[in-house]
Chains A and B, each alone.
Chain A
Amino acid sequence: SAVISQKPSRDICQRGTSLTIQCQVDSQVTMMFWYRQQPGQSLTLIATANQGSEATYESGFVIDKFPISRPNLTFSTLTVSNLSPEDSSIYLCSAGRAGGSYNEQFFGPGTRLTVL
């Protein structure tokens, strides 16, 4: 398994600003992912964070709005840019090892974002 920490745990931001969320894993992992859970919705994959290269975004998510960095195998950041109230969600990062235990993923505790 892997222990994953995220910060901040929560934040309240003004419309038009940006928030950067950090995710730290306690061991080297192959895969890191960023998810969003909007109120009443399922956990939705935003992107796969690739070490040393651009993230792979899912349909409906773009780099300009959700820039992601992954400088090494244990750390990643997600920025939510030009915030609007619709971005109010819980953002989670997860990690796993490619092909390991049927692609099991381990999750951070999430960042609860409220946009005013």
Chain B
Amino acid sequence: ILNVEQSPQSLHVQEGDSTNFTCSFPSSNFYALHWYRWETAKSPEALFVMTLNGDEKKKGRISATLNTKEGYSYLYIKGSQPEDSATYLCAFGGATNKLIFGTGTLLAVQP
């Protein structure tokens, strides 16, 4: 059974704070690591697809890094805004077309 774990489970920060979350995944049979943002009552939105060890990706104030040898990825948000409040999901993609999701990190940014 493949396990994908995310921490922390939830996070409360003040507007302007920078924050980061962790996703750990199996280091064997790795194909891709996906990050999604899921706001209540909306579709999960794809943020990044990461494939290579050492990958770093950035979209605005959000960035992510990948370490496939040790099986972890970090998601960083710089200068959090209330609109960043959402659940952030990571998903491990192996050789099949399936994705295995972590339980997510619920971020609440208070103005």
Known: A107-B43, A109-B41. Is A102-B32 also a contact (CB below 8 A)?
yes
Say if the beta carbon of A53 comes within 8 Å of chain B: no
Say if the beta carbon of A76 comes within 8 Å of chain B: no
Say if the beta carbon of B97 comes within 8 Å of chain A: yes
B97 to A42, Cβ gap below 8 A?
no
B99 contacts which of A1, A45, A108, A110 (Cβ < 8 Å)?
A45
Say if the beta carbon of A43 comes within 8 Å of chain B: yes
Q: How large is the interface on A (under 10, 10 to 19, 20 to 34, 35 or more residues)?
A: 20 to 34
Measured between alpha carbons, how far is A109 from B44 in the docked complex, in Å? 7
Say if the beta carbon of B49 comes within 8 Å of chain A: yes
Residue of A nearest to B9 (CB): A40
Min CB–CB distance B37 → chain A (angstroms): 11
Say if the beta carbon of B98 comes within 8 Å of chain A: yes
Say if the beta carbon of B71 comes within 8 Å of chain A: no
Say if the beta carbon of A98 comes within 8 Å of chain B: yes
**Chain A residues, CB < 8 A from B44:** 92, 107
Say if the beta carbon of A31 comes within 8 Å of chain B: yes
User: Which B residues, 1 to 51, have Cβ-Cβ distances below 8 Å to chain A?
Assistant: 4, 31-32, 34, 36, 41-44, 46, 49, 51
Known: A40-B103, A42-B103, A101-B49. Is A4-B43 also a contact (CB below 8 A)?
yes
**Chain A residues, CB < 8 A from B97:** 31, 48, 96, 98-99, 103
Say if the beta carbon of B101 comes within 8 Å of chain A: yes
**Chain A residues, CB < 8 A from B42:** 109
Measured between alpha carbons, how far is A34 from B51 in the docked complex, in Å? 24
User: Which A residues, 6 to 52, have Cβ-Cβ distances below 8 Å to chain B?
Assistant: 9, 31, 33, 35, 40-45, 48
Say if the beta carbon of A105 comes within 8 Å of chain B: yes
B41 to A9, Cβ gap below 8 A?
yes
User: Which B residues, 43 to 71, have Cβ-Cβ distances below 8 Å to chain A?
Assistant: 43-44, 46, 49, 51
A42 to B43, Cβ gap below 8 A?
no
Known: A4-B43, A109-B42, A109-B43. Is A104-B49 also a contact (CB below 8 A)?
yes
Measured between alpha carbons, how far is A109 from B36 in the docked complex, in Å? 13
Q: Given contact pairs A42-B4, A109-B43, enumerate 4 new A-B contacts (beta carbons under 8 Å).
A: A1-B46, A92-B44, A105-B34, A107-B36
